[in-house]
């Protein structure tokens, strides 16, 4: 039996790979290049819209654990990310174009994957994994609504940060460093004095915003909050967020500045850098005016301005089981941000689990049932019923992973021990042959 995967983003590509790698033929439906959303520019699969960072790569961080679990389960997304990584201190960041190209090339080269380039307008027959993402087309959204009931949809707003040309950065007003000297000095740090910071914040608070239908500050997911929304929340909010100066000593002064704007390499050549944490929905001329108030960016050339779009997700605890299958129609699975997972890695992880479990079911094998002691299992169990109160998108974190049954002194040591336990469980699946 074959499986139709709708959507060739992070989740859809990972689901298709897991199925094909286990001998299940895949029909991959993707509307690009014939039709693109306003946020997409590339024809390739797995286009990273908001950022080129997959966040921390350390096992003392929950997303670092999730990535390592995926690596050990032969994740396509993680393999291609590792092959196209760019320096980013303790984080895993990629060259966007190279990453998307690598995923596209490897997936289309698989003999069991066939591509259908068109917009899907109805729910396919047979087994299907829907991974069309937060920017699902209106036509297919209507089809999903017909399957679920339109009242089951929820939404929040997501924003992407601007990208500037490295040669336009005033390096006399900036310096290379990573926070606390962790890893190599991969970030360009743009210091600001108190006076510069306060003037910048005031400009952000009063800058003209682009109209986004239905947008309200309250509808913004905390992990992707526009910088101007953050500025309005308080004088020091940004200095405790993306402009935090702690651990970024300026070599010119020998001390940390009042505030620091960080830039992260966006491509392998190092010609483009994105402004870390500067998701925004300001009008383009306003972005140029306000962001140029940062001393090191006074002459910045913007390769891309920030954009904002609406993300749509499901009321997953009511609709989905731990395998991301629709409870009322188990032949249909969902994966990616539509399920309420938040983040690139989490989206790919949901696709991995949905593809792997679908393949096992079709082959008559028992479900893997990754437990809550693993990041993969904890995320799926949270999304399918672990939330309390109103369901909102969730990043992976140690708070949703089962705690240790014994005490460990020190947060980093505890997290390291949780990660070791999780990876031992994943390795147990692999050694036993269960993941083949």
Residues in binding site for FAD: 7-12
Whether 359 contacts 323, CB under 8 Å: no
User: Could you give the CA distance from residue 347 to residue 345 in angstroms, rounded to a whole number?
Assistant: 5
H-assigned helices in 207-240: 227-232
Token pair recorded at residue 122:
């109805």
Strand partners of residue 192: 259
User: Could you give the CA distance from residue 212 to residue 310 in angstroms, rounded to a whole number?
Assistant: 8
Strand partners of residue 280: none
Burial of 340 (0-12, 13-18, 19+ CB in 10 A): buried
Contacts of residue 309, defined as CB under 8 A and 6 or more positions apart, other chains included, come to 37, 38, 39, 134, 135, 157, 158, 159, 212
Name the DSSP letter for residue 40.
-
Instruction: Specify binding-site residues.
Output: 7-12
Q: Give the rounded distance of the alpha carbon of 428 from its chain centre.
A: 28
Whether 427 contacts 413, CB under 8 Å: no
Cis upstream peptide for 33 (omega within 30°)? yes
Place of tokens 């829907």: 130
Token pair recorded at residue 266:
């966006």
User: Beta-carbon neighbour count of residue 147 at 10 Å?
Assistant: 16
Cα distances (angstroms) measured from residue 166 to each of 272, 293, 357: 5, 17, 44
SS3 243: coil
Largest CA distance in the chain: 66
Dihedral angle sign, alpha carbons of residues 424, 426, 430, 434: positive
């Amino acid at each position: 039996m074959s499986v139709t995967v709708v959507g060739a983003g992070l989740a859809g590509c990972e689901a298709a790979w897991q199925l094909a790698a286990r001998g299940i033929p895949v029909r991959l439906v993707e509307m690009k290049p014939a039709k693109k959303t306003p946020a997409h520019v590339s024809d390739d699969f797995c286009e990273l819209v908001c950022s080129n960072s997959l966040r921390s790569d350390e096992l003392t961080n929950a997303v670092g654990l999730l990535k390592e679990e995926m690596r050990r389960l032969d994740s396509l997304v993680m393999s291609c990310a590792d092959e196209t990584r760019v320096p980013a201190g303790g984080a895993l960041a990629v060259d966007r174009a190279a990453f998307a190209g690598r995923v596209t090339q490897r997936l289309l080269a698989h003999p069991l994957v066939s591509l259908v380039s068109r917009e899907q307008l109805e729910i396919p027959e047979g087994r299907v994994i829907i991974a069309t993402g937060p920017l699902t087309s209106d036509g297919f959204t209507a089809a999903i609504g017909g399957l679920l009931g339109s009242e089951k949809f929820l939404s929040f707003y997501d924003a992407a940060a601007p990208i500037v040309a490295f040669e336009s950065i005033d390096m006399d007003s900036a310096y290379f460093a990573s926070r606390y000297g962790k890893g190599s000095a991969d970030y360009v740090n743009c210091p600001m004095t108190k006076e510069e910071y306060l003037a910048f914040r005031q400009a952000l608070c009063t800058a003209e915003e682009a109209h986004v239908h239905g947008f309200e500050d309250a509808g913004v997911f905390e992990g992707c909050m526009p910088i101007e929304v953050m500025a309005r929340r308080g004088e020091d909010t940004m200095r405790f967020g993306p402009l935090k100066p702690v651990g970024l000593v300026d070599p010119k002064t020998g001390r940390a500045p009042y505030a620091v704007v960080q830039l992260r390499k966006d491509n392998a050549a190092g010609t483009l850098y994105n402004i870390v944490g500067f998701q925004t929905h300001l009008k383009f001329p306003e972005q140029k005016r306000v962001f140029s108030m940062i001393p090191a960016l006074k002459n910045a050339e913007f390769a891309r301005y920030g954009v904002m779009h609406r993300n749509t997700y499901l009321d997953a605890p009511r609709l989905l089981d731990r395998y991301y299958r629709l409870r009322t129609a188990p032949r249909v699975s969902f994966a990616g941000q539509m399920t309420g997972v938040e983040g690139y890695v989490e989206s790919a992880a949901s696709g991995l689990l949905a593809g792997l479990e679908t393949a096992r079911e079709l082959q008559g094998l028992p479900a893997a049932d990754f437990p809550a002691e693993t990041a993969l299992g904890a995320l799926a169990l949270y999304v399918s019923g672990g939330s309390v109160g109103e369901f909102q998108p969730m990043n992976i974190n140690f708070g949703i992973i089962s705690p240790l049954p014994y005490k460990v002194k020190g947060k980093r040591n505890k997290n390291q021990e949780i990660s070791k336990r999780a990876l031992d469980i994943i390795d147990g699946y692999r050694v036993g042959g269960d993941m083949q």
